[in-house]
Chain A
Amino acid sequence: MQAPRRKFHDELDALESEIVTEADLAGNALSRACDALARRDDRLAGEVIAGDDLIDERYIDVERRVLDLLATQTPVASDLRLVSAILHINLHLERIGDMAVNIAKMAIATRTLPTNETVLGQLQEMAEVAGSMLRTALAAFVRRDLALATALPEMDDPVDRLNRGMYREVVGLAGDPKMLEWGIHMNIVSRQLERVADHAVDIGEQVAFLLTGEFKEFTDASHPVS
């Protein structure tokens, strides 16, 4: 006998696939934006900026379809939790896409300025970890893997540490006005990467909610663990 809500559950499956695709697009945009920054590649940066429209279109489409489901299907229990998780993850991914755009814009804005290898190396490391965290968060979502989701805050630690250290690195460039200008822009890039990692942690929280029915922040910035 066919399950009675096949059409509804097919649409839920389709929305989950959309989220996976959107995550791929956002992850690629982030990676390409960081490449554009490291290689001073204006064309690549421009592609990242233009490509954000695709992510935005997907975001709006998922949002609309989720609202349709809420209005017409009144999802409950694990379906309701999945719909809620999709709604939140969709927004996190759209924000990550925007952060990739911000980094691409920084790449264009600083292409004539001198650079510093130490800072670039740290940003590269942050980008790799943040990208890995995004992939981990999505893998936890797709596999319904609570352990993977709860591993994300620990993965975030080096990103936070590098972001905090970035300020000192930039201050160290203060002797050269052009270098300082570049460094201030890189501090913004660092902040964007740190936010991407935070969004990945937030996606992990949504996965945990989906699996347990209880929503808890993995970390609380206002009450950090001492």
Chain B
Amino acid sequence: MGADVVTESKDRREPVGGRLTVNRPGRGGHGGPVADERSVIFDVQNLSVFYGEFRAVREVSLPVHRNEITALIGPSGCGKTTVLRCFNRMNDLIDGARIEGTILYHGVDLYERGVDPVEVRRRVGMVFQKPNPFPKSIFDNIAFGPRIAGFKGNMADLVEESLQKAALWDEVKDKLKESGMALSGGQQQRLCIARAIAVQPDVILMDEPCSALDPIATLRIEELMQQLVSDYTIIIVTHNMQQAARVSDRTAFFTVDVRHDGQRTGTLVEVDATDKMFTNPSDPRTEDYVTGRFG
């Protein structure tokens, strides 16, 4: 990466309205969670999410640690994707969506007045369930975001580095002008990851990123996540519990509470080191879910 890109990156990391500040010390090693208060990048406190009158998620408190992979797991309707979308204010795009509680990002309230949600989404990128490359060339898929953000550096270098980081460069370096839509599903998903990386995010959110991929492509994405986590913080929603067990440092288990009137609300049961969650979880509801004894 050229020095101009770093400068550009630093410039673009300036606080939004003086409200967002970013520090990125290196990861301490991928040997397990580091329980250090300074390493908390998101501090979710009593988060409830409403769609109109409907409360989709109730009172979630959850730390997300820097340079770790945090997995959100739980049955359908437990609110894990809803919570994920709060981390980059994607729920703002839904009419009637609102939150109670706070999400502190580097100590700053993400939902405070004056925080620019567009800037939030640049810093907190997202990869979706279905690969969704733009109907453009591979090069332009990567260059699109930086151009919009006013990137003035060497775009070719930035595209190459982004594709390198997404472990896709070797496969596409000779066909950068070809359509991103022509790639395989797994390649398309890595292209989307490269696209997210190109705008220099701090965090990457992944919403079931492998559910449309075959097992080999899935393992490549998982391997990529393990590489990326030295530079980024990753939060992944997955229905695949073994994927959570394989890739994540910390796992949060959500479930659904059903009220007497039938209303279903997602709630966080527990969050802990992933190896603990899959060998000796503290809460019997987690135990029942991961062992398949619910129902």
Contacts and interface: CB of A to CB of B under 8 A. Distances in A.
B295 A77 contact: no
B281 A3 contact: no
Interface residues of A, number: 18
Given A5-B292, A9-B293, A77 B287 contact: yes
Contacts of B281: 77
B164 to A, nearest CB: 33
A78 B242 contact: no
A76 B295 contact: no
Contact of B280 (A74, A75, A81): A81
Interface string A159-172: 00000000000000
B279 A76 contact: yes
Contacts of A68: none
A213 B291 contact: no
Contacts of B241: 76
A212 B293 CA distance: 19
Task: State the majority secondary structure of interface residues on A.
Answer: loop
Contacts of A5: 291-293
Given A1-B295, A3-B295, A213-B280, A77 B242 contact: no
Given A213-B279, A213-B280, A78 B295 contact: no
Interface string B259-295: 0000000000000000000111100001100111111
A4 interface: yes
From A77, A78, A80, A212, residue with most partner B Cβ within 10 Å = A77
B279 A75 contact: no
B280 A79 contact: no
Contact of A80 (B279, B286, B293): B279
Contacts of B286: 77
Interface in A1-54: 1-5, 8-9
Nearest to B293: A3
Nearest to A12: B291
A3 B287 CA distance: 14
B245 A76 contact: yes
Contacts of A78: 280, 287, 291
A91 B35 CA distance: 38
A79 B279 CA distance: 9
Contacts of B279: 76-77, 80-81, 213
A75 B245 CA distance: 11
Nearest to B287: A77
B159 to A, nearest CB: 39
A215 to B, nearest CB: 10
B278 A3 contact: no
B211 to A, nearest CB: 18
Interface in A64-90: 74-81
A9 B291 CA distance: 9
B277 to A, nearest CB: 8
Nearest to B276: A213
Nearest to A213: B280
B153 to A, nearest CB: 46
Contacts of A1: 295
A204 to B, nearest CB: 19
A75 B295 CA distance: 18
B294 A77 contact: no
Contacts of A9: 292-293
B156 to A, nearest CB: 44
A8 B290 CA distance: 13
A1 B281 CA distance: 24
B280 A3 contact: no
A2 B174 CA distance: 53
Contacts of A3: 292-295
Contacts of A81: 279-280
Interface of B: 241-242, 245, 278-281, 286-287, 290-295
10 contacts: A4-B294, A5-B291, A76-B241, A77-B286, A77-B287, A77-B290, A77-B291, A78-B280, A80-B278, A214-B280
Top 8 A-B pairs, shortest CB-CB distance: A213-B280, A5-B292, A76-B278, A1-B295, A79-B291, A76-B290, A4-B292, A77-B287
Interface of A: 1-5, 8-9, 74-81, 212-214
Given A3-B292, A8-B292, A77-B290, 15 more contacts: A1-B295, A3-B294, A3-B295, A4-B295, A5-B291, A76-B278, A76-B279, A76-B290, A77-B278, A77-B281, A77-B291, A78-B287, A79-B291, A80-B279, A214-B280
